[in-house]
Amino acid sequence: MQLCAQRVEILGKETAVVANEIGKHIREYRVVVNKSTVPVGSGDMVEEILLSHGVKKELFDVVSNPEFLREGSAIHDTMHPDRIVIGAKKREAAVKLVELYATLEAPMLITDINSAELIKYGANSFLAMKISFINAMSRICELAGGNIEDVAKGIGSDNRIGKQFLGAGLGWGGSCFPKDVHGMIKTAEKLGYDFALMRDVVEINEQQTLHFMDRLGEKIGGFKNKCIGIMGLAFKPNTDDIRDAKSLVMIDKILSEGGRVQAYDPVAVDRVKEVFPAIDYVPSVYDVAEGADAVILATEWNEFRQLDLERLGACMKRRVLFDGRRVYSRAQAERAGFEYATVGSA
């Protein structure tokens, strides 16, 4: 959470730096647009900075136009947005952005600046809450003998809820959700509101991976002197981003309890080496299993979906597969001789 707080503060400082630079050069009317996710109140801050440089009020308008881009599909999301949010004090400034985006033929919401800034924080916070909810349900399924996949299908089939972001797993990570959830909590705090719901969302997320690892530890008799293979290191497939990646939590726990890690990822290895230089990085996914006491699927790369599980298990010390992303079926894994466990089922 401390790291998330630093990210929010950095965003505010970076916005101020850019605003100061813009303020030095405005000579004729300009619309100044905040595109990135920024702390609420950033629009007012930008306006104050421009005025402090002697820029006359009639020479600019500040507009909030938050982006809603997913890592790994930013170009598609830019060209096919679900909606375009425009926050402005003056209708004339908003209209200029409406004209700019007209060819995309996307729904547009025009609102005030503070509301536009809150929409981005609120959207990501809600999605994070949805993931934490289904992960909390997965814990109940494990205790009750239920199957979280069936539970999620039943819940998501309700049109009021929807099917997206109901995939139980190791928890959310990356650059956006942690930062924006923390930003939402801090914004509420500054305004005098204790957003206890979102603090619980964060706690559930932080517990999820550790609970998963505790289950594995119980299965194999602890991590001391054990070799654990980890398939996937990035926080999600199709990126080398490891910010708040659950693989890092796993590696830290295994090493701190006297175990050894051998890991593979198609693109993120160099980034993880900066954090954990001493673990074994292997050249292929099958090498992850060599002499291992257990293998964990941590990132659902497509190449992992097509694995020959018989081959994967053949060189293991003990065929234990912990599927953190529910990629394989229990029947598929058990046919290959694995002791199989996953999120949200006994």
The type of residue at 53 is H
Cβ(26)–Cβ(50) below 8 Å: yes
Q: Report residue 32: phi and psi, to 5°.
A: -100, 120
* Helical (H) or strand (E) element with 296: strand 294-297
CA dihedral 46, 49, 51, 53 (to 10 degrees): -140
Which residues have CB under 8 Å from 220's CB, separation 6+? 226, 293, 294, 318, 320
| Catalytic residue status for 176 | yes
CB-CB neighbours of 285 under 10 Å: 20
The type of residue at 170 is L
> Is residue 195 helix, strand or coil?
coil
Structural tokens at position 140: 């109940």
Radius of gyration of the CA atoms of the chain, in A: 23
Which listed residue (4, 141, 176, 227) is catalytic? Answer: 176
Distance of alpha carbon 149 from alpha carbon 168, whole angstroms = 8
CB neighbour class for 283 (10 Å; exposed up to 12, middle 13-18, buried from 19): exposed
The gap from C-alpha 235 to its chain's centroid, in whole angstroms, comes to 7
Catalytic positions are: 176
